[in-house]
Amino acid sequence: MSKSKRHRRNAQRSPNAEPASARWTRWVAWLLCAITFPLLWLGGLVTTTKSGMAVPDWPGTYGYNLFLYPWTTWLFGPWDLFVEHGHRLLASLSGLVTIVLLVMLYKYESRPWMKTVGVVALVAVIAQGVLGGLRVVLDERLLAMVHGSVGPLFFVLTVAMVVWTSRSWLTARKVDQQGLARLAPLAAATGILVYVQMVVGAMLRHMPVTVSPYSFESVVKVHLVLATVVLMLTLVVARMCVASAAPTGVRCTGWSIIAVVLLQISLGVATWISKYGVPVWARGMYSPSSQSVLADGWWQAHIVTAHQAVGSALLASLVVATMLAWRYAPASIVNTETESFSKGVATG
């Protein structure tokens, strides 16, 4: 860029322009979040395709260092090996980006608690990796379920870090609307319920084959009842978001909650049909098919996996709604000066 152009851009920049360090930190937070969501998807695919033990050793892959495993064998070998090794590689990338983010937070971030959040993220990603490794080494289904349940929590943390580093969070002003104060706890409670629902879903997916049919049936019923409650609560939360006087971000979050929860319910129905067929009582509603579902086929694998991954997206949407509602609510105290970056707003 020429000197004159840079001069013109600097001249156009408002006195409150954001420093480059803040932008970079946010972009890295976004990158971490963008890596973690497909990581969840791939982790779900490991469970769906029952590839968890496709690589029986850890932290290596068939005796190789994780990063030195022959890429041709990975890409062109068995499908379950491709999925499991790919999950490990992406998880490693997620860990590396978390380290980069932590370094940036320590270097540029002035809010001490954000540095703590960065440390928590690093500890979380390491713990999650070790959980995944132990699941393989011990061949323990319970650990697989715990690993699958911790994943969404880490994803939510990455989403929260994106929000905390966002420009709208840093420059937020309170909105004079009491509804926002009620929205935050309701969205939080709904988020907790969604997470409980996800754990119940993880139980269904990781159910040991020795469990009695009636235990499985009970868990299915809990999952269905919770789905109904979650649907109603999320629609209430979404309506409050959409109707609020807060900035666009809150209203957009409301619309995204509606879209995600409707998608999730549809995926739930599709998951059941792709796994167990159309229930007898619903068979009149569907055109009968002379073709059986293809086990572990593309549609079955991705519908079931999407149902798990979209659950995390719903949870993340509710966390965003909670955070923004709390941020904009009249009771919240916003002090952008104390939360601005240490390098100074104007000096970029």
Partner 1 sequence: MLLVLATAGCNNRAPQFAPNRMAMIEAQLVDEHQQQITQELTELFGTPDDPRVPEGVDLDVELLQMAAGQAGYEKDEYGHEYQQRGLYRQHCASCHGITGDGRGPAAAVLEPYPRDFRPGVFKWKSTRLASKPTDDDLLGVLQRGVSGTAMPSFGLLAPEQLDALVEYVRYLAIRGQVERELIATVADELDFDPAAGTTDEPFVPAEDEDDQAMVDDVVASIVQSWQSPTEQIVEPDPQTMPADERTDAQMAESIEAGRQLFLSPRAKCTDCHGADARSIVVKDYDDWNQAVFDFRQRSATLAAQIARDRENLPGLDSSLAKSARERLTSESRRLKQRGQVSEELLAPQLARPRELADGVFRGGDRSIDLFRRIHQGVAGTPMPGQGSPRPGVEGALSEQEIWQLVDYVRSFLHNSD
Minimum gap (Å) between residue 186 Cβ and partner 1 = 22
Could you give the string, one character per residue 64-103, with x where binding to partner 1 holds by CB under 8 A and - elsewhere? ----------------------------------------
Stretch that binds partner 1, among 85-93, 108-116, 163-171, 206-214 (CB under 8 A): 206-214
Interface with partner 1, residue 220, by CB under 8 A: yes
Select from 90, 145, 187, 241 the one that contacts partner 1 (CB under 8 A).
145
User: Is residue 291 a contact point for partner 1 (CB under 8 A)?
Assistant: yes
| Three-point CA angle 271, 228, 275, nearest 5° | 15
Q: Which of 253, 256, 300, 308 binds partner 1 (CB under 8 A)?
A: 300
Stretch of residues binding partner 1 (CB under 8 A), selected from 125-133, 207-215, 253-261, 321-329: 207-215
Q: Does 285 bind partner 1 (CB under 8 A)?
A: no
Beta-bridge mates of residue 104:
none
- What does the angle CA 38 – CA 304 – CA 66 come to, to the nearest 5 degrees? 40
Q: What is the DSSP string of 132-199?
A: HHHHHHTT-HHHHHHHHHHHHHHHHHHHHHHHHTSHHHHT----S-HHHHHHHHHHHHHHHHHHHHHH
Interface with partner 1 (CB under 8 A), residue from 8, 9, 13, 50: 50
Q: How far is the CB of 66 from partner 1 (least distance, A)?
A: 17
Which residues inside 257-276 make contact with partner 1, applying CB under 8 A?
275-276
Q: How far is the CB of 279 from partner 1 (least distance, A)?
A: 7
Sign of CA dihedral 164, 167, 170, 171: negative
112: contact with partner 1 by CB under 8 A: no
Burial label for 329, CB within 10 Å (0-12, 13-18, 19+), is buried
Name which of 204 and 235 has its Cβ closer to partner 1: 204
- The residue type at 288: P
Bond into 330 cis (ω within 30): no
Q: Is 64 helix (H, G, I), strand (E, B) or coil?
A: strand
Q: Which of 106, 216, 255, 299 binds partner 1 (CB under 8 A)?
A: 216
- Which of 12, 288, 333, 338: binder of partner 1 (CB under 8 A)? 288
Give min distance, CB of 84 to partner 1, in A.
10
3-state DSSP call for residue 286? coil
Residue whose token pair is 């619309």? 255
Give CA–CA dist 12/31, Å, rounded. Answer: 28
* Among the listed residues 222, 262, 263, 265, the single contact to partner 1 using CB under 8 A: 222
Burial class of 209 by CB neighbour count within 10 A (0 to 12, 13 to 18, 19+): exposed
In the complex with partner 1, which residue's Cβ is closer, 4 or 65? Answer: 65
Q: Which residue reads 């490794």 in tokens?
A: 133
Based on the shown chain and the rule CB under 8 A, indicate whether residue 218 belongs to the binding site for partner 1: yes
Do 343 and 19 form a contact (C-beta atoms < 8 A)? yes
What token pair was written down for 184?
């935050």
- Contacting residues toward partner 1, per CB under 8 A: 50, 52-54, 56, 62, 139-142, 145, 203, 206-220, 222, 275-277, 279-280, 287-297, 300
